[in-house]
Amino acid sequence: MEKEQYLGVSVSPYTYEEIIADLKKRIAAGEQSTVIAVNPEKVITAGRDPLVKELVNNSTYQIPDGVGMIIASKLKKGGIRERVTGVDMMGRLLQFAADEGHGVFFYGAKEDVVRTAKEKLEAKIPNLRVAGYANGYVQDQEALVEQIRESGAALLFVALGSPRQELWIKDNMANLPNVKVFQGVGGSFDVYSGKVKRAPAFYRKFGLEWLYRLLTDPKRIKRQMALPKFLLKILLQK
């Protein structure tokens, strides 16, 4: 599938539906796929860390997570028109897994968070089969990989924060041949468990999630400086 480039980082200009349709073909062909969320913070990090850049660019789908990516695409006359967020992509993939009868596995976050997320999602999505889960602080990696393999899950969601989760996926995917879809989901289990609240609809509608996060957690200002920095770099590049 086609990609757009932002400061040397690839981004997929596709909607949720287009990605799922393409994934379906790849699963039928027996191929493994990885989904990574790209936001201005990750593009800036990729600029100074070649490993992060490689992890992003070697993924199958780089989803445009955040309003910064939409603005950048408009500035560069690209084709990205809607946000594809990590947390909503995960929701769509879970629905897809339930529809197709694929098992899913959740790895990451604290024990009570991942367990609660699993229970709430099972209650919310009929026919969802959670084949297993593990918290993000388990020590025995070999046993963990064995647990995922034995679960028979075809989709694996990894929530260890970035870029740890992407690195974990890269290092372990060859040992998990039955897993066809890997997504690094950051704080998504925290959201689905109800521990972290998403921005109210008003903020989401106007692409102001960053403002809501800033108001509720002012410490994020440091991370959020990536947004103006990113847009400035995009503008200067023209």
Name the one residue in this structure whose structure tokens are 């403002």.
Answer: 211
**Closest distance of CB 88 from ligand UDP, Å:** 14
Q: How many residues does the chain have?
A: 238
Name which of 6 and 157 has its Cβ closer to ligand UDP: 157
- Work out whether strand 9-11 and strand 4-6 pair parallel, antiparallel, or are unpaired: antiparallel
**Closest distance of CB 110 from ligand UDP, Å:** 5
Q: Which residues bind ligand UDP (CB under 6 A)?
A: 108-110, 136-137, 159-162, 186-187, 189-190
DSSP string, 194-232: TSSPPPPHHHHHTT-HHHHHHHH-GGGHHHHTHHHHHHH
Name which of 155 and 158 has its Cβ closer to ligand UDP: 158
Name which of 10 and 162 has its Cβ closer to ligand UDP: 162
Name which of 102 and 105 has its Cβ closer to ligand UDP: 105
Per the CB < 8 A criterion, the answer to whether 150 and 105 are in contact is: no
Q: How far is it, in rounded angstroms, from Cα 146 to Cα 153?
A: 12
CA angle (76, 221, 90) in 5-degree steps: 65
**Closest distance of CB 237 from ligand UDP, Å:** 26
Q: How far is it, in rounded angstroms, from Cα 46 to Cα 8?
A: 9
**Closest distance of CB 168 from ligand UDP, Å:** 10
Q: How far is CA 228 from CA 67, 68, 109, in A?
A: 12, 9, 30
**Closest distance of CB 97 from ligand UDP, Å:** 21
Name which of 137 and 206 has its Cβ closer to ligand UDP: 137
